[in-house]
């Protein structure tokens, strides 16, 4: 009995052992939590008590030159459903929503009573199918709901129906200047991004920035304090363009009228300030609606004045004569001694546009008559190397450096055999864009100084609240001033006495030239299809504006004198009046 441990002593040892084991377990657990799992637990705590709130600024606006809005932003709503909160059936909710949402349809106002009923029934069916979706906690129902529609739905107090607010592009002038502005589409990730025109070229300027703010909350979700902001909130920069709102309206209205009158496939009308390089209006047709771009063929998204190459025809003769005058190869009264008939180059015979010839014609008369043989005469006096150098000085084939998506270098011919030089002297066998031609002829109007075309007038930075004016860009003298003034007088004579003299305006003085060219296609030219154009400026010296009009394949007449020229003068008179007001 003496060798048996006392019961109290045995029990004490057991208690001590248990205490030790418990202490060891606690220490081990604390070590695990505080050392091994410290990072994971810290992240869990941060997720529980810290909330990151992300907000996005507004995309930058586009303005006309006078500060009126060209493209802005509009608040709209996305309507959604949370089925767990429904207190009635999906069918009943669908009927309540459809009664209001159907009136938000673009086609509702113009639809007949029968069509409206069909739209309503179709919408009820679509909404019911969405609202019946199984195992969905959130269901998107309709995009781009207006504020008015949202308020009407809210008044019905439908449980489980909510709204998300966001912005879309807003076009107060409808589809005006569509090829200039471009539009907003989506990336593969569903993010907004600008395509074409200014929206595409200035995406980095216009796009809004995100800001992210960290908020600390208590166990009940109440806000304790805000942490440090990680990014600066920033709206996109606002862009003021060089586009004159009134002139843009004139161009779009009259171009459409002209296309219908002369039965053309399409056309362009561009107004330009030769003294500053500013594009003050640019219209192209066919066009599209930026807000509904997806309803149109992608071909119309591009700005044809920038991206479409064509053979300019007789408007190009302005550059040939300019090079001849500037090198003293010709003077206005120089007589052509090779203009008595067609010119032969191997198997190629080159004629005048009307197969009429003027032996010993002067250069001033030749420009007025649009004489192809006289242009060949000038090119031969220049030599193909000098002629080529002048065309490159005028920027033919060279990118414009303008803030529009699609600007790039364009093909410039390598081969300059005698027949090729001959045809290029009167604008065939060489391609340009409309804006390249405008830049080149603009140098003639600007007393020999070539300017980089400009579409942006100023940029407003919301961070600094500063407005940065865009000065006239890259200047390059390509002609002597005396040459330019002489050519201005010759173009005045051409406008008054040329083939389009019947349409010459008595209201404004003009220097200008018609152009009729064949439509190039693979392997040759389209039969009985022409591109007609007129380019000119007013007044002839120190002009206020330069205007270019082009019609694609007019059916009423194949000649510029009967299509593009009368349209040009009709537009020019209105622009002149608008600038004087």
Each residue's pLDDT tens digit, 123-182: 889 999 999 887 788 899 998 999 999 999 999 999 999 999 999 999 999 999 999 999
Tell me the mean pLDDT in the region 457-466. 92
Alpha carbons within 13 angstroms on the beta-carbon side of residue 498 total 32
Other CB atoms within 10 A of residue 441 CB: 28
Taking each helix axis as running N to C, give the angle between helix 372-382 and helix 317-326, from 0 to 180 degrees, rounded to the nearest 10: 40
Q: Is the predicted pLDDT of residue 186 greater than 50, yes or no? A: yes
Contact 367, 513 (CB under 8 A): yes
Q: How confident is the model at residue 103 (pLDDT cuts 50, 70, 90)?
A: confident
Q: Worst-scoring range by mean pLDDT, 423-437, 440-454, 490-504?
A: 490-504
Q: Is the predicted pLDDT of residue 529 greater than 50, yes or no? A: yes
3 state SS of 487: helix
Tell me the mean pLDDT in the region 505-528. 90
Lookup: tokens for 81: 């459903």
Please state the length of the chain: 581
Rounded distance, CA 214 to CA 2, Å? 73
> Which residue from 7, 145, 167 is spatially nearest to 71, judged by alpha carbons?
167
3 state SS of 62: strand
Contact 568, 536 (CB under 8 A): yes
> Long-range contact list for 171-174, CB < 8 A, 24+ apart?
171/71, 171/290, 171/291, 172/69, 172/70, 172/72, 173/70, 173/245, 174/289
**pLDDT confidence of residue 231:** 47
**pLDDT confidence of residue 217:** 52
CATH number of 47-72+173-241: 3.90.1310.10
> Which residue from 486, 556, 156 is spatially nearest to 318, judged by alpha carbons?
486
What values do phi and psi take at 211, rounded to 5? Answer: -125, 145
Could you state, in order of their start, the residue ranges of all structural domains in the chain? Answer: 47-72+173-241, 83-159, 245-291+302-580
**pLDDT confidence of residue 501:** 87
Query: In Å, what is the CA distance from 460 to each residue of 245, 286, 313, 465?
Result: 19, 32, 42, 7
Q: How confident is the model at residue 295 (pLDDT cuts 50, 70, 90)?
A: very high
Q: How confident is the model at residue 112 (pLDDT cuts 50, 70, 90)?
A: low
Rounded distance, CA 258 to CA 262, Å? 6
Lookup: tokens for 280: 């003050």
Please give the CATH superfamily to which domain 245-291+302-580 belongs: DD-peptidase/beta-lactamase superfamily (3.40.710.10)
What is the model's pTM?
Answer: 0.85
Other CB atoms within 10 A of residue 202 CB: 23
Rounded distance, CA 65 to CA 82, Å? 47
Other CB atoms within 10 A of residue 557 CB: 16
Rounded distance, CA 249 to CA 253, Å? 6
Query: In Å, what is the CA distance from 311 to each residue of 354, 496, 518, 533?
Result: 19, 25, 7, 11
> Which residue from 144, 152, 96, 145 is spatially nearest to 120, judged by alpha carbons?
96
Contact 93, 124 (CB under 8 A): no
- Tell me what the pLDDT averaged over the chain comes to: 89
Asked if the peptide bond before residue 576 counts as cis, ω within 30 degrees of 0, the response is: no
Q: H helices of 220-370, where?
A: 245-261, 304-307, 317-326, 363-369
């Amino acid at each position: 009995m003496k060798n048996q441990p006392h019961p109290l002593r045995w029990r004490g040892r057991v208690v001590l052992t248990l205490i030790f084991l418990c202490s060891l377990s606690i220490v081990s657990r604390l070590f695990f939590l505080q050392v091994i799992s410290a990072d994971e637990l810290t992240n869990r705590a941060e997720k529980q008590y810290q909330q990151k709130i992300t907000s996005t600024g507004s995309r930058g606006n586009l303005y006309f030159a006078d500060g009126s809005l060209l493209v802005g932003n509009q608040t709209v709503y996305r309507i959604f459903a949370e089925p767990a909160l429904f207190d009635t059936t999906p069918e009943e909710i669908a009927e309540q929503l459809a009664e209001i949402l159907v009136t938000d349809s673009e086609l509702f106002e113009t639809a007949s009573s029968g069509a409206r009923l069909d739209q309503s029934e179709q919408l009820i069916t679509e909404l019911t199918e969405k609202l019946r979706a199984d195992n969905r906690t959130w269901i998107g129902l309709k995009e781009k709901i207006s504020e008015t529609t949202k308020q009407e739905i809210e008044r019905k107090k439908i449980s489980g129906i909510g709204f998300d607010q966001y912005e879309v592009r807003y076009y107060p002038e409808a589809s005006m200047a569509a090829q200039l502005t471009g539009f907003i589409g989506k990336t593969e990730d569903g993010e907004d991004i600008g395509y074409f025109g200014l929206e595409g070229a200035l995406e980095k300027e216009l796009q809004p920035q995100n800001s992210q703010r960290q908020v600390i909350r208590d166990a009940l979700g109440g806000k304790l304090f805000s942490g440090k902001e990680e990014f600066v909130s920033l709206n996109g920069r606002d862009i003021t363009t060089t586009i004159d709102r009134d002139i843009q309206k004139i161009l779009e209205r009259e171009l459409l009228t002209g296309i219908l009158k002369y039965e053309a496939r399409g056309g362009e009308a561009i107004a330009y300030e030769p003294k500053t390089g500013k594009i003050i209006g640019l219209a192209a047709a066919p066009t599209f609606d930026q807000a509904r771009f997806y309803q149109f063929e992608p071909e119309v998204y591009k700005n044809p004045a920038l991206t479409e190459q064509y053979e300019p025809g007789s408007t190009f003769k302005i550059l040939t004569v300019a090079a001849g005058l500037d090198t003293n190869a010709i003077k206005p009264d120089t007589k052509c001694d090779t203009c008595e008939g067609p010119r032969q180059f191997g198997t190629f015979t080159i004629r005048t546009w009307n197969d009429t010839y003027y032996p010993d014609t002067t250069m001033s008369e030749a420009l007025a008559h649009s004489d192809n043989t006289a242009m060949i005469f000038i090119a031969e006096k220049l030599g193909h190397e000098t002629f080529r150098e002048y065309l490159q000085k005028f920027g033919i084939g060279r990118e414009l450096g303008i803030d529009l998506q699609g600007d790039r270098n364009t093909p410039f011919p390598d081969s300059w055999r005698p027949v090729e030089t001959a045809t290029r002297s009167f604008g065939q066998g060489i391609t340009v864009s409309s804006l390249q031609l405008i830049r080149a002829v603009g140098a003639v109007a600007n007393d020999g100084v070539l300017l980089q075309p400009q579409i942006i007038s100023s940029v407003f930075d919301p961070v600094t609240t500063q407005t940065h004016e865009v000065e006239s860009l890259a200047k390059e003298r390509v002609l002597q001033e005396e040459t330019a003034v002489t050519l201005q007088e010759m173009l005045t004579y051409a406008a008054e006495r040329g083939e389009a003299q019947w349409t010459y305006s008595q209201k404004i003085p003009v220097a200008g030239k018609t152009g009729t060219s064949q439509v190039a296609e693979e392997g040759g030219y389209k039969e009985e299809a022409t591109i007609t154009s007129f380019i000119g400026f007013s007044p002839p010296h120190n002009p206020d504006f330069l205007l270019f009009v082009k019609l694609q394949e007019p059916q009423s007449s194949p000649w510029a004198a009967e299509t593009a020229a009368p349209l040009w003068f009709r537009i020019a008179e209105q622009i002149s009046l608008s600038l004087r007001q």
